[in-house]
Structure 1
Amino acid sequence: MVSLLKSVLNLPRVYKRIITVLIDSVFLVCAFGLSLMLRLDNVALALTENYWLVFACALPLIILSFIKLGLYRAVLRYVNMQAVWAIGLGSIISAMLLIGVSFLLHIGIPRTVPFIFMALCLLLIGGSRVAVRAIIGHKRWHKKTAVLIFGAGSSGRQLTTALSQGAEYHAAAFVDDDVALQGHIIHGIQVYAPSEIESLVIRKRIKKILLAMPSASRDRRKQVLNKIEPLGLQVLTIPGMADIVDGKAKLEEFKDVGVEDLLGRDPVAPRAELMNADIAGKVVMITGAGGSIGSELCRQILRLKPSKIVLFEQSEFALYTIDKELNEYKVTHNLNVEIYPLMGSVQRVNRIETVMKSFAVQTVYHAAAYKHVPLVEHNVVEGVRNNVFGTYYAARAAIHAKVETFVLISTDKAVRPTNIMGTTKRMAELVLQALAKTQQSTRFCMVRFGNVLGSSGSVVPLFRKQIKDGGPVTLTHPDITRYFMTIPEASQLVIQAGAMGKGGDVFVLDMGDAVKIYDLATKIIRLSGFSVKDVKNPNGDIEIKCTGLRPGEKLYEELLIGDNVEGTSHERIMTAHEVMLDWQILSPLLDQLDVACHAFDHQLIRELLLKAPTGFNPTDGICDLVWQQSSDSHSKSADIINLKKSH
């Protein structure tokens, strides 16, 4: 039976419609014969040809009415309420046609026959379709993965409909916190309380959990994830409602739970007056425009409708990528913004100054920097050149070009730094603080924050890749902690903080609570459907390995220096009063640092960085790879000379 049905379902659409019409015709004949027998209780009388003449004339009209109602456009395996409505209305019309034809032919049929016929039509034609759908659905159901849907609201209900039409999952149960929904059946699926999840997983052989809460706050989603994380099942989430409405995603496009949901931190709505102050209608320049923060700043700035955006980037591919994306957005949203992609390095002072003057730049967001701690440790001179002198040259160019506002993207690693990267960023802050006091034309400010989720150096994408590859997941130390923030939130707060600066301000973003990276890795492993392999669970799936702190790496990041911190009018932005140097004192120090870099004198570079009020407290020796190679070469040469002398 099933194989025959499968053969029929594989026929071309036109043949399937013809077969359906013929089968329905047989059902209609049976329905009419049965209605006569039930009413007359006499088979011989039921076969009287006058009655069948009425039916023979009515049958083509009945079939035609079903066609007009769209019954044969409905796909059998996806019978829905529209098809049920067509069958019901068609059955009523069928009874009315029998009465009409009987009246026209002056052949009287028992008055109850049309009503019995109507009921039998509904039963036979409707029932046959339900039976076909049940047979197909039962076969497909066994091939699907059983999933539990957390959230029985409108999104969850829409999700079950989408799943029923797909070939991958079937919804075995709903779970919802709403007591009013618990115990009810929605779309044939029962709603349970969260306390029953563990037993449901066993009874219904649940393999995955789908989080259908696109409009819930991140704090609420964090609470839910904390409940289901110990189960060790893969948890997938549906896209946000905004993305679904905008057509950027479909309801059934599942994705891994975002780490922002694990942090449970809801962003604060940006303030329009602060967002627009330095951007709307102005010429805005972003250095490092192709980087993680730089590119998101570009996206946020474009939406605020500046007159021009100048993209300054040394990586050709990164510049091409962000320029293409911005221009596509500009065309799609019909924005009248000029976009200029310019290649160049902030270390070339003439280039950057010429650019600022040529485009009459009014606002600069300086995101260009080397930020990867171990790489900067291994390339000290380039780190100093780019982070310290690149910032100095860009700031000096801004003063000469009469730029109104210059905002430096700083880092939490500038606080009591133990590495070159943090120290160079603190030096960059000192440069801007000193320059802010030497003139009034350009307003300098700095915005300091921690790690951003999804950046090129973020641990989260690395963890997901390692889990996908079967592990192990690697981190440097079991006790290491970090602050995290999403890139869009960080960028919005940078823009708003820049508008609040008066000159020389150091702003600190509220990053929430520090996150223990080991705990974060554990959560991501469990929510990916795996267990952690450790001493307590030697048969687990994914092992977490600690590789040791890398050169210059800190266990705990800090965002402030001292306790001299004040709040601002924005709840997520604070201001810190930092130790600073006057330009007369800082300038000679920069000159010495410039000479030391030119001579690749790493010992002098370190002495000068220690001398500056950066709080530099290195945990490692000089790690520059070129310097180490040179030192090894000199050491080997000396050993060879001493060996020859001894002989």
Structure 2
Amino acid sequence: MTYWLRLILMLLFDSCLINLSIGFSLWLRFEGEGGIPANYLEAFFTLIPWYTFITLGALYAMRLYHRMWKYASIGELFGIVKAVTTSTAIVIILIYTIPLSYLPRSVYIMSWVFMIIFIGSSRLSWRLLRDLIIKESNKKAKRTLIIGAGDAGAMVARELNNNQSLNLLPVGFVDDSPLKQKLSIFGIPVLGSREQIPFLTASHGIEEIIIAMPSAEGRTIREIVNICQATGVRLRIFEGTDDLLHSRSKIRDVQLEDLLRREPVKLDLEEIAAYLQGKTVLISGAGGSIGSELCRQVCRHRPQRLILLECSENNLFDIDNELRESFPEQALEAELADVRNREKLQAVFEKYFPQVIFHAAAFKHVPMMEMHPEEALNNNVLGTRNIAEMADKYGSETFILISTDKAVNPTNVMGASKRIAELIVKDINRSSQTRFAAVRFGNVLGSRGSVVPIFLKQIQKGGPLTVTHPDMTRYFMTIPEAVELVIQAGAIARGGEIFVLDMGEPVKIADLANDLIRLSGYDPELDIEIKYTGIRPGEKLYEELFSGYEEMAATRHQRIFISTKELDERYNGIKNNITAWINNLSPERNEIIRFIQELIPEYCGSEANEEPVPRGEVIYLEKRGNRIKKSSGIK
């Protein structure tokens, strides 16, 4: 049905209701008095056109013909009251000013009441009919328990009630708040607390559970997931949003990120805009896991131009196409170049003169770099020196090196190469107008070659999941979370800092494997085996965020800390000597390892120990005012 046909039909229908309201009021007024007097009957036919057109005009002016009445509520009824009151007042004013024929005063009052009742009932009947249809269809829907009786839970309940295609019937809420117990939302009761989930699931025939707690921390979600998994019913999670302008709500399966989530990163958008908006930004490794997310988030801050520097043709093609589709107004330049190629880098800098640089290009896989240490030095060390010196030479404003927690007390070549890269950046910063800084963080969930995608592939094959050691422990962040903090660190950098991101609590890889198996719908003890393969060369049991000789201080950002250790005097001038040192090395692994050990005394590669041992302690940082509290041990 078209809009105009629908409008005409509703106008005709309302005209009948308006006439019926006035005629019925007039009949009630003279019931039992021998009929309606002729003068009032004549006045009725005179006033009907005025009443009808003025009331229809008021209803249209109040936009009551633009509403979907199957979703009618008290707001629509209030609109009808306003429209009818306005039209009645206008008619009465016209009767005594034009003048028009008049009716008994009681007729105006009764007709006002009947018009509201008749028109309101006609609209609300659509809602009642719709609710009746939904109620009938819900008899076949899956009985659903909603965890969380807050705003998100109410949103989920409303969506389940209104959206028949979901085929879910909300039966009750679960919430730990004593104030919410025995209350109800939309007629749906709060049945109990999380400890009662297994009992409630059995007693109410629950077929599906939805977690509606968007702001809950990962620890809370883990506890709830563990309780719910014992029930054997499907478990999903409501994905809410803080962005009302880009509102999205989705119910999806629980993912590993939900179990590790922390308080959302709070960015200082004004500070970020000051150093990114309207600037030429270059991102090396633009097609990698971190680099590509940097590209997406930097584009949201409207740089004047974004330069995508990438040595992989396929990766560059993918990220360039994605950004051109997602940000059609953004000026983009795709440069197929390797940071090891100094001449090509110089040509890029001469062409664009980038003002802000995020250096994410690196070889990152520990076992592969143990097999090819010369490539780790060439790419991670000399590549960093090349692009950092270009930033200095061409007057860039800010240079951010993406580093790793493996650079702390390194036990592998990859970590040692990133530690040398940190030293080079700090050395160049001493004599440069460019602000050089490094940002250090741990593993990111979902990055290429990381443990989570590997585990998921192993689960798809039916296992086993290979874990190197039962006590192997790592820090984890999501890619967007890490990148948001990297961008914020760039805003507060003054030069020479090593920023350390708050990684939260470390996670045992074995626990991670168990969680992924359960989230995939399997039992880790019965369906899919976990196989321990032994620690690989260069691996630590525990990663560290900073070394014992580094002192950490708070920044004004709650999730970012800073190493206050000045560059050791023995590394003064390392930027000038490192190329000659590396180029004079033979490709023999032993010679390369000896060089790394001499340059980085804290380096303790796998050659030094037959049996793998943990290095140092796991350090937790807690910000209290302007002070940092440290604690250690596995939580």
> Does the pair score TM above 0.5?
yes
**Among 569, 588, 598, the residue aligned to 1:601:** 588
Shift of residue 543, structure 1, vs aligned partner = 2.7
Equivalent residue runs for 1:312-461 within 5 Å: 312-328=309-325, 330-331=327-328, 338-437=331-430, 439-461=431-453
| Structure 1 counterpart of 2:197, one-letter code | I
Q: Confirm whether residue 551 of structure 1 aligns to residue 552 of structure 2.
A: no
Q: Give the Cα separation in 2 of the matches to 1:396 and 1:86.
A: 68
Answer yes or no: is the 8 Å Cα contact 2:517–2:528 preserved in 1: no
Q: Name the structure with the higher helix share.
A: 1
- 1:199: Cα distance to partner? 2.0
Structure 1 residue 589, shift from structure 2 partner: 6.0
Name which of 573, 576, 582 aligns with 2:561: 573
**Residue 473 and residue 413 in structure 1: after superposition, are their counterparts in 2 closer, same or farther (change >3 A)?**
same
Residue aligned with 1:192, SS: strand
CA contact (8 A) 1:473 1:544 kept: yes
Match of 1:573, SS state, is: strand
Change (3 A) 1:366 1:123: closer
- Partner in structure 2 of residue 250 of structure 1: 248
Superposition deviation, residue 411 in structure 1? 0.6
Gaps of 5+ in 1: 1-13, 26-35, 41-63, 93-103, 105-112, 622-647
CA distance 1:267–1:401, change in 2 (3 Å): same
Q: Which whole-Å CA distance do the structure 1 matches of 2:520 and 2:170 have between them? A: 18
| 2:169 alignment counterpart | 170
| Shift in CA distance, 545/564, structure 1 to aligned 2, threshold 3 Å | same
The answer to whether the 8 A contact 1:532-1:544 is kept is: no
For the 8 Å contact 1:410–1:447, the answer to whether it is kept is yes
Aligned-partner residue type, residue 618 of structure 1: S
Cα distance in 2 for partners of 1:154, 1:171 equals: 15
State how far apart, in whole Å, the 1-side matches of 2:205 and 2:180 are: 23
What's the counterpart of residue 159 of structure 1?
A: 156
CA contact (8 A) 2:80 2:120 kept: no
Say how many residue pairs are matched: 587
Structure 1 counterpart of 2:190: 191
Note if 1:490 corresponds to 2:482. Answer: yes
* Inter-CA distance 306–618: structure 2 relative to 1 (3 Å threshold): same
Match in the other structure for 1:512:
504
Provide the rounded CA distance (Å) in 2 between the counterparts of 1:516 and 1:573.
Answer: 23
The alignment status of 1:149 with 2:146, answered yes or no, reads yes
Corresponding residue number in structure 2 for 1:641: none
Asked if 2 retains the 8 angstrom alpha-carbon contact of 1:179 and 1:193, the reply is: no
CA change 1:473–1:141 in 2 (3 A) is farther
Deviation at 1:422, TM superposition (A): 1.3
Residue type matched to 2:552 in 1? E
Counterpart residue type for residue 263 of structure 1 = L
Q: 2:116 and 2:577 mapped to 1: Cα distance?
A: 99
* Aligned equivalent of 1:209: 209
Question: Residues 457-472 of structure 1 correspond to what in structure 2 (within 5 A)?
Answer: 457-463=449-455
Question: Counterparts of 1:266 and 1:413 in 2: how far apart (Å)?
Answer: 25
Query: Conserved in 2, the CA contact under 8 Å of 1:430 and 1:581?
Result: no
**Preserved CA contact (<8 Å) 1:475 1:544:** no
Whole-angstrom CA distance in 2 between matches of 1:406 and 1:206: 55
Q: Is the 8 A contact 2:265 2:484 kept in 1?
A: no
CA contact (8 A) 1:151 1:212 kept: yes
Distance 1:588 1:141, change over 3 A: same
Return the TM-score normalized by structure 1: 0.70
Secondary structure of 1:543 counterpart: coil
Do 2:280 and 2:352's aligned partners in 1 also have CA atoms closer than 8 Å? yes
Residue 238 of structure 1, CA deviation? 2.4
2:223 to 222, 226, 229: 226
- Paired position in structure 1 for 2:96: none
1:185 and 1:200 map into 2 onto residues whose CA distance is 16
2:77·2:120 contact (CA, 8 Å) conserved in 1?
A: no
Query: What displacement does 1:289 show?
Result: 1.8
Cross-structure match for 1:7: none
- Tell whether the 8 Å contact from 2:497 to 2:562 is kept in structure 1 after alignment: no
In structure 2, the partner of 1:533 is 524
User: Measured at CA, do residues 470 and 151 of structure 1 come closer, stay the same or move farther in structure 2, by a change above 3 Å?
Assistant: farther
Offset from partner CA, 1:437-470 (integer Å, 9 cap, x none): 5x33444332211112342344345555665776
User: Which of residues 260, 264, 273 in structure 2 aligns to 1:263?
Assistant: 260
Q: Is contact 1:482-1:516 (8 Å) kept?
A: yes
Q: Deviations over 1:104-161 (max 9, x none)?
A: 9xxxxxxxx999x999999998998788656643552243222222233343333223
Contact 1:222/1:261 (8 A) holds in 2: no
| Whole-angstrom distance in 2 between the partners of 1:127 and 1:276 | 50
Contact 1:423/1:616 (8 A) holds in 2? no
Rg bigger for which structure? 1
Q: Secondary structure at the match of 1:364?
A: strand
Could you list the per-position Cα deviations for residues 367-406 of structure 1 after superposition, in whole angstroms to 9, with x for gaps in the alignment? 1101122333344433332112211222233333343443
Q: Distance in 1 between matches of 2:117 and 2:434?
A: 86
Shift in alpha-carbon separation, 1:313–1:199, aligned structure 2, 3 A: same
Give the drift of 1:258.
5.2
1:560 paired to 2:549: no
- Give, in whole Å, the separation in 2 of the partners of 1:275 and 1:135: 52
Contact 2:408 2:545 in 1 (8 A): yes
Task: Supply the AA of the counterpart residue of 1:152.
Answer: A
Structure 1 residues 561-595: Cα deviation after superposition (integer angstroms, max 9, x where no partner): 22431304334222152656446678666435324
Equivalent residue number for residue 295 of structure 1: 292
What is the distance in 2 between the residues matched to 1:155 and 1:73? Answer: 29
| CA-based RMSD | 5.5
SS at match of 2:562: strand
Q: C-alpha deviations, 1:614-642, integer Å up to 9, x for none?
A: 51412699xxxxxxxxxxxxxxxxxxxxx
Percent identity over the alignment? 36
Partner letter of residue 298 of structure 2?
A: I
3-state SS of 2:335 partner: strand
Q: Structure 2 CA distance, aligned partners of 1:580 and 1:281?
A: 38
> Would the alpha carbon gap of residues 86 and 513 (structure 1) be closer, same or farther in structure 2, given more than 3 Å must change?
closer
Amino acid at match of 1:363: V
SS at match of 2:369: helix
Q: 1:369 to 1:79 in 2, by over 3 A?
A: same
Query: Is the CA contact 1:289–1:322 (under 8 Å) kept in the aligned structure 2?
Result: yes
Could you list the per-position Cα deviations for residues 38-76 of structure 1 after superposition, in whole angstroms to 9, with x for gaps in the alignment?
xx9xxxxxxxxxxxxxxxxxxxxxxx999x999999999
C-alpha distance in 1 between matches for 2:358 and 2:583: 24
1:434, 1:413 → 2: CA distance?
20
Q: CA deviation at 1:510?
A: 2.7
Q: Deviations over 1:237-277 (max 9, x none)?
A: 223141xx334x533x2234454543352245334575356
Q: Distance in 1 between matches of 2:125 and 2:307?
A: 66
CA distance in 1, matches of 2:80, 2:564: 73
Unaligned runs of 5+ in 2: 17-26, 32-52, 86-100, 102-109, 610-635
* Residue type of the alignment partner of 1:611: E
* CA spacing shift, 1:581–1:546, aligned 2, 3 Å: farther
- Counterpart amino acid of residue 143 in structure 1: K
What displacement does 1:483 show? 1.1
Greater relative contact order (Cα < 8 A, sep 6+) = 1
CA distance in 1, matches of 2:487, 2:68: 54
Change (3 A) 1:266 1:381: same
Q: Are 2:355 and 2:398, in contact at CA under 8 Å, matched by a contact in 1?
A: yes
TM-superposed CA distance for 1:482, in Å, is 1.0
Distance in 2 (alpha carbons) for counterparts of 1:375 and 1:567: 34
Distance 1:72 1:364 in 2: 56
